[in-house]
Amino acid sequence: MRGVVVAGTRSGCGKTSAALGLAAALSRRGLRVAPFKCGPDFIDPGFLEAASGRPCHNLDSWMCGPGGVREIFARHVQGADVAVIEGAMGLFDGFGLTEEGSAAHTAKLLGLPVLLAADASAMARSAAAMVRGYLDFDPELAFCGVLLNRVGSPRHGEILRQALAQSGIDLPVGILLRDEGLAAPSRHLGLVQAEEHLNPSRLGALAEWVESSLDLDSLLDTLPECDPAPSADPEPAPPRARIGLAWDPAFRFYYHENLRLLRAAGAELVPFSPVADRRPPENLDGLYLGGGYPELHGLRLSDNASMRRAVRGLAESGLPIYAECGGFMFLMDSLVMDTGQLCRMCGLFPYRATMNARFSALGYRAVETRQDSILGPAGTLARGHEFHYSSIPEETYRQATLFSTADRNGPREGPEGFTRHQTAASYIHLHFGSNPALAANFVTACAKGAD
């Protein structure tokens, strides 16, 4: 089994398109591709899943630690011929000014080389200086090639090749000609979701785009072989709690590892749609309401009064509910969309979320619980990530909150983590791999109600 990290010089340089094209090109050759995504992103993994036909797992050395990254990789690379790992932001960007959480750190932890993607538009010899800086920044990092993106013409590409060769860069160089038709459209949290944009025709075009610029056979030959030992997972626990999982176009942001750990702890996860179904499934012992785009489906959520009443009724009856970001917004009183239209939500928390033109919060978060909850006893530690455009006025908070939080600058002010009855909700997406007890504690809380 071989592997490569496709990383970029910065966000928006084309690394996602390059990673998708590479995964699609390798897949159509009959190779079994295991996709991974560095960092906390939820949207790019959906694209990589479509390109490879396998679930895409996040690898984040700040949230999960070096051991967690190696374990997740080893577990989900089994049976694959090649692993394609897409970086996040720029190659060396992660948690503040450390390498934690970066694509570079992940590559070193796994012993894999980097295929560096760079935007070479409006550049000639300067492209060599840019690439050389990345190649020399960390002597411990290995590279297997360079992909120069948004190249204006074959002549421009030849100039770039000569400039890199003149500067002593002795790596395979791929020239990706500018093709704006291949770029995925974006919205406020990143790219549109894969099911809205990606189809077999577009995947084929991406595969052709990469394969025409890069000698894939030579690339594969240069990749080191790796054989990570499979994880010694215990036997799955027998189901002891039936947990409803919000899963539809409005709620689809989940870390696969969170779901795996819940199942390992004895959860039976039952998908349902808050948008389309009239009420949650019967005989539930808990609910997991993940993030997503409730603001894009606000009118349908508002119109689905029977679902909203049912979810609030379950919460008020004491059913354990864990909600993140979009799921938290769904539990609020209302949501004001960017059009200014007000949409009724479940009304469990007396807050009104308002969509803003610019993001309200972005970054890694360390969390410690202040009191006992469905996530565990007071003092439970976790790590996660926060990214949202909605906000709720601070003057509306009328209760002590569950979390004390910190970011790369230290402790954060302001409330976070909201509880009512047996519900814990937050704007932060916690990665259960940062503390697997989170999953076990939540399942235990649900199972107590089932007994």
Give the catalytic positions in this structure.
325
Give the whole-angstrom CA distance, residue 112 versus residue 383: 26
Helix (H) or strand (E) holding 329: helix 326-331
Q: Closest Cα to residue 146, out of 204, 212, 220, 219?
A: 219
- Nearby residues of 411 by Cβ (< 8 Å), 6 or more positions away: 404, 405
Number of C-beta neighbours around residue 158 at 10 A = 12
Give the whole-angstrom CA distance, residue 183 versus residue 202: 10
> Helices 256-264 & 437-450, crossing angle to 10 degrees?
50
How much of the chain is helix, strand and coil, in % rounded to 5?
Answer: 35, 30, 35
No. of H helices and E strands in the chain?
14, 26
Q: Closest Cα to residue 198, out of 47, 13, 36, 25?
A: 47
Strands (E), 285-341: 286-289, 291-292, 321-324, 332-336
| Cβ-based burial of 130 (10 A; exposed 0-12, middle 13-18, buried ≥19) | middle
- Annotate 149-196 with DSSP letters as a single string: EEE--HHHHHHHHHHHHHTT--S-EEEEE--GGGSPPEETTEEPPHHH
Do strands 390-391 and 381-388 pair parallel, antiparallel, or not at all (unpaired)? unpaired
Six-digit token pair at 43?
């949207």
CA 244, 246, 248, 254 dihedral sign is negative
Give the whole-angstrom CA distance, residue 26 versus residue 90: 24
Number of C-beta neighbours around residue 140 at 10 A = 8
Give the whole-angstrom CA distance, residue 226 versus residue 131: 27
Six-digit token pair at 76?
């989900």
